[in-house]
Amino acid sequence: MTTIYHNPRCQKSRETLAILKEQNEEFEIIKYLETPPTQEKLAEIITLLGISPLDLVRKNEALWKDNFKEKVLKDDELIKIMAENPKLIERPIVIKGNKAIIGRPPEKVIDIL
């Protein structure tokens, strides 16, 4: 089963969801702003993505710029910050089996389907 961490207000997230539907993919939608991933789940997602926690942060968010941008943070601190402030998590994230991808651009999701 495929999982999409989705924000319905985000155009890229909606476009990625449309691709999943076009591909007749069975999927679960997790509206991560309403149901944020735990720190453990975020660490797992980051591992699947093959990126650093900092690469998953939305660095243009005011919350990031105002509170964290100038700080030197360890990976576990970044994961905790994202778990507590899911608005800072880059989106959409699509997971299928042991593969994950950030849907930016949305067409990238086809690579793991």
β-pair partners for 4: 29, 94
Instruction: Out of 1, 3, 7, 10, pick the active-site residue.
Output: 10
- Whose tokens are 């998953």? That residue is 56
Peptide bond into 105 cis (omega under 30): yes
Q: How far is CA 21 from the centre of its chain?
A: 19
CA separation, residue 109 to residues 1, 12, 15, 82 (Å): 14, 11, 10, 22
10 included as an active-site residue: yes
Active-site positions read: 10
